[in-house]
Amino acid sequence: MAAEQGFKRNIGLFMAVMIGIGAMMGPGIFALPSVVAGSIGPLGILAYLAMGVLTLFTALNYGELGAAIPVAGGGYSFVSRTLPRPVAFLTGWFFWIGNTLACALYVVIFAITIQYYFWPSASVFAITLVTTVFFTITNLRGQVEALKVITAMNIVELLVLLGVGLLGASFVEPANLEPFAPMGLGPLIPTMGLIYISYVGFDLITVAAEEIIDPARTIPRAILITLGVGVVIYVLVLWVMMGVVNYDELARTDTPFIYLADHLFGAWGRWAGIVATIMASLSAFSVTLGASSRVLYALGRDGHFPAAFARLHARHRTPHIALFICAGLVVLLSALGVVRFLASVSSFGYLIAIGIVNYSVIALHRRMPNLRRPFRVALYPLTPILGVVACWFFVPTLEARSLLLGAGLTAIGVVLYLFQPANREELGGLSTLLHRLRLRIRALWRPKMRVLIIGGGNQGSNIADRLLKQDEFRMVFRSAEYQITFVEEDEARSEELGRRFNVPVLHGDGTKPEVLAQAEPESLDVAIAAADNDDRNTIIALQAKRLGVPRVIAIARDPDQVSLLEDHGVVCISAPFATAAMVENYLDRPGVAELIQIEGGVANLIDVHVPTDGEVVGKHIQDIDIPRECVVAAVIREGQFVVPRGKTEILKDDHVVFVGPPSAVQAARDVFVREGKTAGR
């Protein structure tokens, strides 16, 4: 249905950078420098620079992952393709917790600023509620709609930061920077861990990968631009702060940037600082709220949470259910109004999750060495290893209550993971009631369909076009938003497929089991052998079956090949002019033996095989609940044509031919293949 349609690709390089800037240049630079000044003095300038250099490793890793696997969910989606399912779930869990708590942190900072400077009698909760509702609506309308607001705020914020930094540079007094390390070098590492949260943000660009135009080129560029801008501004502003105001004086204020602007330029500087702080809080809040909803969407899409979480709004094509859930949780958390608590837990989640993502680059190279990589990290595997170290090294530097709470959140995530029926083995000794409950829960959790197309020529491309088609008519019966991966031997064609479809592409020989194994056969729903000749498709299909792909389709016309494949449980499609349509129909309506589209899809003609214990066996056609728009055109019984009448009795193994609109023939098909208690005669 329309709600299942994919995201709109309407975010270019500039808007992608705005996502990163909006999240990275958050309230941290406006509040943390006072803590840094009190911890290590002017040495904090070096701390920000060193943390930026270390974060570069993570940025490069995200660039390769985002270009090779441009799917919604960002770091979680990368891990889900490369590491075991439990690790992927926990990564997504920590990202979602980190993002959601960061949202609450940003909106609380905004509310406190408004209350302190503009509206002392206002309730912090009321301000957070109104703000959350407003930005939920803008995110509901789409990332581009939200980014229009975010971009304006980012521009104001950046202008103020650069203005204060550049104009204030002439007021720097070298005496204020001496001694450069008044507390020694000991506090340097803990301080770097404290400010790591300031560099979180560029990773959110990959969360919106399915909305970004030409993600293979845009994502790496946007990430590196965002990080570069952030490092320059952070170091510049902190140098001006420490050089204009003595670090002891700076440490005594809770709003160091506003204090600096007021010190340099008086009242108008103070108000410019206030406006910039507000813009930073709101832009970071909006971007992180959108990212949080998309991580939850990805968890629902992959079956960790109910499929309802992965629904997209019929009109705006945004994950509205996930967005509403995240917004509600943000309001509840922000009601606490405890900034330090929110920041502490958020940092723990980010550090753990991003460290896992860095390692997933190594896992990706090992599991999918033939995957098309439009952007490659330098100095592999040193770069991903340094990315992991740059995250996890700082986890022990967090305060004790953060570690305890992080352990508690990990335990909750493990329980939630084991609660999913698809994620655990059958537990013995359960009561009948619990067993029935498990079966009921299983019906609610439905992962999306992962499709591997081996062969990117005309056949494979046409199938992908058909499966990724997003118009209203095609989505009527679509049971899943297909996640496609290609295997293609020709290098030039692999590049073309990546640019055309923006999906993962493995460059290699699809007849080789070691290449197919990189596509993770155990996680696939269906593999389609779509090479240009029957011999290759036969080998591909049999290899896929041997590797454990549950459903395999092969394009084959040679009767001998078809017979061989069908003996091995492979579905063969041989219609030379309707291959793509028949693949789509098989995936969405696997019980339909044959289907012909009339006038481009206005009506369908299908042949349905009646099972031996079918519910309709022994009934007359007039007594069967068939949609009025659908007509029984024929009954084929033991090779003979039977003219259908109202009194015609349906027997087991009949082939019933229907004609009518797609929705009607689908409903009729469901009735005729349904199993019943009464066996046929």
Please report the pLDDT score of residue 27 as a whole number: 61
Q: How far apart are the C-alpha atoms of 161 and 283, rounded to whole Å?
A: 15
Query: pLDDT tens digit string along 427-475?
Result: 333 334 444 444 444 434 444 688 999 999 988 998 888 888 754 434 4
Length reported for the chain: 681
User: 449-590 in CATH: which number?
Assistant: 3.40.50.720
Q: What's the mean pLDDT in 226-252?
A: 92
Calculate the alpha carbon distances from 544 to 146, 308, 375, 494, 517 in Å. Answer: 43, 31, 29, 20, 9
With 90 as the cut, is the pLDDT of residue 15 above it?
no
- DSSP code at position 468: H
Q: Which residues contact 656 (CB under 8 A, 6 or more apart)?
A: 607, 608, 610, 632, 634, 635, 636, 644, 650, 672
pLDDT 10s digits, 107-163: 888 888 888 788 888 888 889 899 889 888 877 776 565 667 777 887 888 889 999
Instruction: Give the torsion sign (CA, 54, 55, 60, 61).
Output: positive
CATH pick for 2-415 out of 2.40.37.10, 2.30.40.10, 1.20.1740.10, 3.50.50.60: 1.20.1740.10
Q: How many CA atoms lie within 13 A of 359 on its CB side?
A: 17
Report pTM: 0.68
Confidence (pLDDT) at 420: 63
Average pLDDT, the chain: 81
Report the C-alpha gap between 11 and 154 in whole angstroms. Answer: 16
Mean pLDDT of 624-650: 85
Please give the structure tokens belonging to residue 216. 């293979």
297: pLDDT strictly greater than 70: yes
70: Cα separation from own chain's centroid: 9
pLDDT score recorded for residue 600: 46
Compute the distance between CA of residue 273 and CA of residue 256 in angstroms, rounded to an integer. 10
pLDDT at 428: 38
Calpha distance 624→371 (Å, rounded): 51
Give tens-digit pLDDT for 468-499.
Answer: 875 443 444 445 568 899 999 999 999 999 88
Q: Give yes or no for a contact between 289 and 323, defined as CB atoms under 8 angstroms apart.
A: yes
Q: Which residue has the higher pLDDT, 349 or 49?
A: 49
pLDDT higher at 85 or 390: 390
pLDDT tens by residue, 147-171? 677 778 878 888 899 999 999 999 9
pLDDT at position 206 over 50: yes
> What pLDDT is recorded for position 399?
73
Is residue 658 pLDDT above 80, yes or no?
A: yes
The CATH class given to the 591-681 domain equals alpha beta
Select the highest-mean-pLDDT range: 16-30, 339-353, 355-369.
Answer: 355-369
Who contacts 125 (Cβ-Cβ below 8 Å, separation ≥6)? 111, 334, 335, 337
Domain extents in the chain: 2-415, 449-590, 591-681
